[in-house]
Amino acid sequence: MKFTRYQMFVVAVLAFLQFTVVLDFMILSPLGAILLPKLHVATSKFGLIVSAYAFSAGLSGLLTAGFADRFDRKKLLLFFYTGFIIGTTLCGIADTYRFLLAARIVTGLFGGVIGSIVMAITADLFPLEMRGRVMGVVQTAFASSQVLGLPVGLALCNQWGWHAPFLMIAGIGAVAGGFIAFGLKPIDAHLKVKNDRNAFVHLLKTLSKRTYISGFAATIMLATGGYMLLPFGSTFSVNNLGISMERLPLLYLVTGLCSIIAGPLVGRLSDSIGKYRIFVIGTALATAMVLIWCNLGVTPFWAVITVSVLMFLGISARMVSVSALISAVPDIKDRGAFMSIYSSLQQFAGGFASALAGLIVVQNSSGKLEHYGTLGNVVVGAMLVTLVLMYSIHKIVREKTNVARAVVGQAEPVPVVASATFSE
């Protein structure tokens, strides 16, 4: 299936939007080595700065869920994105630990909901057979933030201080907001479907539906494993692996470039050979590389880059395939609520994971992080549990697809055979 020009525009806008939101979250990781001494905080307090965003985003997602299917998704997106830009600007002018912590809470309240709206828009505008490719492009926001955002952010930080990256994000975010306001058409097909009038009832029904609960459980474990390595990535690279601050941007650059190339390819593969199959392959690669990464000592730069690239390739394959699979779980009348709850649980789990990482990892007097290997073991355990949970999601999506095909006129549902085990 080919994309229309407008669909290509939508994918580009959503990817650029995600780039700013992801960069705002990820920029704290490479700034960790700078902020710890600048703000005179311990690793546990820095972990709280990271988790504060996630916890506030989780709360915002729950509060929004009941109302998410009552508004044009374009207007909803503009409202929360404007609040996100304001919160990021506050981070750019923060001068104390408490100010920065409060600014991260404000940013999380608005920015944490944006990902769920993007997923709902993707599911509204693109059929399942195209969502792997769409998610493959949208999810390159993570890699693009490494290639373009993090090196530029670190350069700005070295030149004008740690506030500069946040002000940069707010500036380019204003540009993205303009594209949304003037280029995106109203997205309101869901408003034509009968839904619960009471927002609280709609929230409870979405939370209690059996097929949705499986998706929520998988989300919690996926985020728990995914967020734990983020807060101290740069600190570990500098103090444990022996990477200089000058070389740190190059590490992010190379890793990000490879992820940008891999994202669309993974998306295309997930559409052609099966989303769960790609998830299994990505999990196998990611678990192996996490175990290696978290147990490295001082390591040659080329070896660090190799392990980092392979690890993020595995993570990218997991993210793209999961996003495409999860988007097919909710019905259109519940899509906004489901995605808001999905995002909320993801943020809560991520906040818990970041805080837990701050308790597991300890920085000794020489600056090195201890117990990082233990952290890696916990991450791998979460990945393996997610593998089992995602299989139930895969079966739910496959059953819905078979029913849909039968309804639109096929003689019989697609048979479930061994060769179709990993396909939609």
User: d(Cα 273, Cα 129) in Å, to the nearest integer?
Assistant: 11
Domain count within the chain: 1
- Over residues 138-162, the mean pLDDT reads 71
Residue 251 banded pLDDT, cuts 50, 70, 90: confident
The answer to whether residue 423 scores a pLDDT higher than 70 is no
Structure-derived torsion over alpha carbons of residues 249, 168, 36, 344, reported in degrees to the nearest 10: -100
C-alpha triplet 194, 199, 201: angle, nearest 5°: 85
Query: Residue 147 has what pLDDT?
Result: 67
In this predicted model, what pLDDT tens digit does every residue of 194-212 receive, in sequence order? 665 677 777 788 888 888 8
Torsion over CA: 351, 355, 356, 357 (sign): positive
User: d(Cα 401, Cα 384) in Å, to the nearest integer?
Assistant: 26
User: d(Cα 163, Cα 173) in Å, to the nearest integer?
Assistant: 16
- Over residues 246-275, the mean pLDDT reads 82
With 0-12 / 13-18 / 19 or more C-beta atoms within 10 angstroms meaning exposed / middle / buried, residue 57 is: buried
Query: Residue 270 has what pLDDT?
Result: 84
- Over residues 277-299, the mean pLDDT reads 91
Residues forming beta bridges with residue 363, ordered by sequence position? 369
User: d(Cα 164, Cα 19) in Å, to the nearest integer?
Assistant: 17
CATH number at residue 48: 1.20.1250.20
Q: Would you tell me how many other CB atoms lie within 10 Å of the CB of residue 200? A: 10
Query: Residue 306 has what pLDDT?
Result: 93
Token pair of 357, please? 């990482």
In this predicted model, what pLDDT tens digit does every residue of 300-320 receive, in sequence order? 999 999 998 899 888 888 888
Share of the chain above pLDDT 70, in %: 86
The answer to whether residue 85 scores a pLDDT higher than 90 is yes
Domain containing residue 314: 5-420
Token pair of 322, please? 């999961």
Residue 219 banded pLDDT, cuts 50, 70, 90: confident
Query: Residue 82 has what pLDDT?
Result: 93
Length of the chain (residues)? 424
In this predicted model, what pLDDT tens digit does every residue of 92-117 receive, in sequence order? 888 778 888 888 899 988 987 888 88
The answer to whether residue 226 scores a pLDDT higher than 80 is no
More confidently predicted of 350 and 279: 279
Of the candidates 117, 10, 1, 138, the residue with the CA atom closest to the CA atom of residue 57: 117
Measure Cα distances from 167 to 94, 102, 176, 179, 206 in Å: 11, 16, 14, 19, 38
